[in-house]
């Protein structure tokens, strides 16, 4: 199928048609590119998935069509200038492996087009919507990966000016993060006057204060990157993470048990400083505060190490008592959360030496092998992308003041956090749980403890250091 690029038509046509069946517009753009489907549109144009007919493999690419919705001659002229500048930026920066490469820039029928590399994968916003909040490991991987890209961009004196989760794609082929959409980017003058004011551009909730006044700096990108991290950690709109009355960030109050170390927290705080002079000025300083030093070699090694940890398919199925975890692994990999939860219960009762599901005592909890609990936890954490698992529940429980002894108030608060007590009422039965990764609270699973529950035993379990 081929899509008509006439803005007033956009009809889908059968393959091999040279002209649109409805409007007669020529379908093969500059005798080379077939538009296949509309990917998206914004205030200044539309984006299409396309096929490059000139290359033997017929690879996918992206066509960006300049089509401003803004009114006024000056506004449209400025938009056209920005579109042309985007092509220039991609030609300058697109040789970096984590920035889309520019293939072509031209005008047809008085409309501007640019053609760029297609990045197959999900945006970080899609990841957040589909899999839930990012944990500390994900955020550290994001920072060390994207800071290296920004280091390259800033070395060419370019400010991206629109860093946000929608403009970061995790490439499916190698899981690397790719920075896209340089439509708002700008080259910094070598000697910028203090009074110079540029175009106000960017997404408001991620925009640095100075950028919102038309005075973007290289450090403005670091601010946007920091706000992106806060959004991914909390799944909340950045506007709700800043207390305008107290003029301070309150993102820690919105973590809902998502653990963030002091080291990472301090780095994030400095990234989102309101005053540019108090913010990080050099990317090397961020690396240093995250414990990676200034060496590009050490940063590269850390990126590779973190990425291996995140994408590795191998969780060692270790058991001190001969329990087979292959079925649990396969159920989790298939996203069969209820079946996996029940299989987890089966495994734990086998570990306790019980022949049937019934009751786990404090003695049983104390005698659980660390190796087995770690295997179960790592499987849950891996296949839920950090949303489920014993260690996730433990972080939430302890953040609420939970100890080895059962406390009704703490237990009620824990139930609220993990979704076992919606609206202040405990769920009546097992089938009342929602076995869906996208809809569930963080820490909602695993939950199957058998026919009876010993709350003292569970308190002891969530306070243990075995996993």
DSSP 81-143: HHHHHHHHHHHHHTTSTTSPPEEEEEEETTEEEEEEE---EEEHHHHHHHH----HHHHHHHH
Q: What are the DSSP calls for 286-325, one per residue?
A: HHHHTT--S-HHHHHHHHHHHHHHHH--------SS----
Torsion angle in degrees (nearest 10) through CA of 79, 83, 84, 87: 160
Query: How far is the C-alpha of 124 from the C-alpha of 135, rounded, in Å?
Result: 13
Q: What order of strands is seen across the sheet that includes strand 177-179?
A: 121-123, 168-171, 177-179
Neighbours of 244 (CB within 10 A): 7
- For 12-48, give the DSSP string: EE-TT-SB-TTT--B-EETTTEEEEEEEEEETTEEEE
Q: Which two tokens stand for residue 176?
A: 């690397």
For the question of residue 162 being annotated catalytic, the response is: yes
Question: Pick from 330, 310, 437, 329: which is nearest to 379 by CA?
Answer: 329
Report whether 86 contacts 93 (CB < 8 A): no
Residue 446, preceding bond cis, omega within 30 degrees?
yes
Q: Which residue has the tokens 């956009």?
A: 10
Give how far Cα 296 sits from Cα of 288, 321, 335, Å. Answer: 11, 45, 38
User: Residue 61 is encoded by which pair of tokens?
Assistant: 């690419």
CB atoms within 10 A of CB 370: 13
* Tokens 């003041």, located at residue: 401
Cβ–Cβ contacts within 10 Å for residue 253, how many? 10
> What angle do helix axes 218-234 and 262-271 make, rounded to 10 degrees?
130
Tokens (6 digits) for 422: 């919606």
Helix (H, G, I), strand (E, B), or coil: what is residue 280?
coil
| C-alpha pair distances (Å), 228 with each of 54, 124, 160, 311, 367 | 38, 9, 14, 22, 43
Q: How far is Cα of residue 325 from the mean position of the Cα atoms in its chain?
A: 29
Q: Which of the following is catalytic: 162, 181, 364, 377?
A: 162
* Catalytic center residues: 162
């Amino acid at each position: 199928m081929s899509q008509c690029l006439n803005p007033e038509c956009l009809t889908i046509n059968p393959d091999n048609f040279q002209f649109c069946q409805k409007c007669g517009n020529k379908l093969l753009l500059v005798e080379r590119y077939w538009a296949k489907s509309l990917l998206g549109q914004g205030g200044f144009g539309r984006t299409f998935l396309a096929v490059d007919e000139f290359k033997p493999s017929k690879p996918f690419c992206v066509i960006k069509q300049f089509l401003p919705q803004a009114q006024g001659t000056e506004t449209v002229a400025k938009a056209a200038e920005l579109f042309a500048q985007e092509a220039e930026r991609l030609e300058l920066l697109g040789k970096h492996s984590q920035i889309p490469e520019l293939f072509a820039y031209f005008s047809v029928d008085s409309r501007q087009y640019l053609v760029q590399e297609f990045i197959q994968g999900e945006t970080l916003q899609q990841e957040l919507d589909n899999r839930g909040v990012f944990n500390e490991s994900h955020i550290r991987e994001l920072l060390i990966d994207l800071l290296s890209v920004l280091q390259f961009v800033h070395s060419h004196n370019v400010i991206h000016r629109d860093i946000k989760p929608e403009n970061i794609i995790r490439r499916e082929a190698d899981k690397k993060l790719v920075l896209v959409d340089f439509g708002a980017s700008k080259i910094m003058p070598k000697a910028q006057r203090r009074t110079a004011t540029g175009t106000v551009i960017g997404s408001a909730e991620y925009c640095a204060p100075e950028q919102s006044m038309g005075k973007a700096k290289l450090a403005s990108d670091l601010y946007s990157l920091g706000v992106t991290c806060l959004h991914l950690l909390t799944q909340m709109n950045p506007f709700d993470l800043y207390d305008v009355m107290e003029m301070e960030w309150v993102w820690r109050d919105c973590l809902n048990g998502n653990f963030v170390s002091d080291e990472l927290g301090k780095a994030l705080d400095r990234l989102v400083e309101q005053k540019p002079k108090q913010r990080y000025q050099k990317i090397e300083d961020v690396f240093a505060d995250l414990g990676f030093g200034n060496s590009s070699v050490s940063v590269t090694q850390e990126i590779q190490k973190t990425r291996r940890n995140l994408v590795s398919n191998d969780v060692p199925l270790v058991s001190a008592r001969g329990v087979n975890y292959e079925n649990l692994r396969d159920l989790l990999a298939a996203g069969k959360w209820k079946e996996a939860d029940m299989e987890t219960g089966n495994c734990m009762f086998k570990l306790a030496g019980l022949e049937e599901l019934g009751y786990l005592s404090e003695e049983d909890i104390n005698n659980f092998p660390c190796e087995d609990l770690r295997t179960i936890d790592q499987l849950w954490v891996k296949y839920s992308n950090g949303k489920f698992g014993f260690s996730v529940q433990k972080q939430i429980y302890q953040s609420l003041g939970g100890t080895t002894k059962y406390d009704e108030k703490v237990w009620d608060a824990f139930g609220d956090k993990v979704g076992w007590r919606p609206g202040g009422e405990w769920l009546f039965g097992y089938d009342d749980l929602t076995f869906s990764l996208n809809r569930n609270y963080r820490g909602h699973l695993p939950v199957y403890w058998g026919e009876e529950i010993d709350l003292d035993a569970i308190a002891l379990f969530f306070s243990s250091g075995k996993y």
